[in-house]
Every structure is written in structure tokens, then in C-alpha cells.
Amino acid sequence: MSRAPFQVLVLPFRRKRDGTLEYAVFKRADKQYWQFIAGGGENEESPIEAARREAWEEAGIPLESAYLSLDSKCTVPVVGVTGEFTWGDDVFVIPERVFGVEVVNTDLRISGEHIQYRWACYDEAMSLLKWDSNRNALWELNERIGRHLSQAGIAP
């Protein structure tokens, strides 16, 4: 298996019966901080294929779930992801692609990468997340979903 030169970030969300939104955040087993699902592409995977696989592997989110590609983008240091200059001495950072995924009628499970997950409202999730890129992506996803629901006549 060959590691592709990109990272994915996946933000699971669900709509509660009262119409409010919750976001699943995950506590890493190794470093004890909260983040969304993250991982890298493998072989010739596209970013959306990698996002679907990572969400399945790390949280049991069905592969056929509805995904939303977000505009949020960042780069992450190669050595922070793979521990070395995997793609040569001149590749210092790789792009991170971001997706939201709606979780419907699914109980999440966690892989060995995490010790805990929790469903949190927007404000709580914002306060838990370690990385600015995760908070930026959460803001975008929350805004996109809120506008969509408002345009549909549904209060977010």
C-alpha cells in the first residue's frame, strides 16, 4: 500500500429530532486531544474515496453515506503525518481536503486510533477541537447546513 500525498478531514454530523445539529468529535488515543476523523489517501484513491474509507475504518460510518465537499483547505507538514519526507526532500507540506458526512441511524464505533467520541453541539465542539483547521471546517459546515435548512424553511 502506497501513501498518497494528501490528507482528508471528515466531519460527521447528525440532526436531532428537535432540528438542532450535533457533530462527532474524537479523542486521539496517542495524544489525548480532540479532532475530527483524519487520515491519508492510499494508492490511487481520490480524496472522497479516502474520506469514505477513513470514516468507515475509524467510526463505522457506512460507505454509502451522504458526503458534502467543503471549501476549507489547509496544508499539513509531511513529517507530522508520515514521520519523514515521504515524497522527497522538496515536499514539505501536503493538502488536506475536507468533507462533512451526515450520520443517519448509525451508532458510531471507534478504532484503536481513538479512545472516545462524543456528539457535541457547535459551541462545545469548537471548544474541544485542538486544530484551527478543524474549527475552520466546522464553522463552514455549520454555516452551509444552517443556510440550507433556512432556505428550506427549517430552523437550524
Output the pLDDT for position 69: 95
The Cα–Cα gap between 84 and 135 comes to 26
Any domain includes 156: no
Any domain includes 16: yes
Any domain includes 38: yes
Q: Looking at residue 101, which CATH number applies to its domain?
A: 3.90.79.10
Domain that holds residue 107: 3-151
Any domain includes 105: yes
Assess contact for 154 and 146: CB atoms under 8 A: no
pLDDT per residue as tens digits for the range 28-77: 999 999 999 999 999 999 999 999 999 999 999 999 999 999 999 999 99
Assess contact for 8 and 41: CB atoms under 8 A: yes
pLDDT per residue as tens digits for the range 95-125: 999 999 999 987 899 999 999 999 999 999 9
pTM exceeding the 0.75 threshold for the entire prediction: yes
Number of structural domains, the chain? Answer: 1
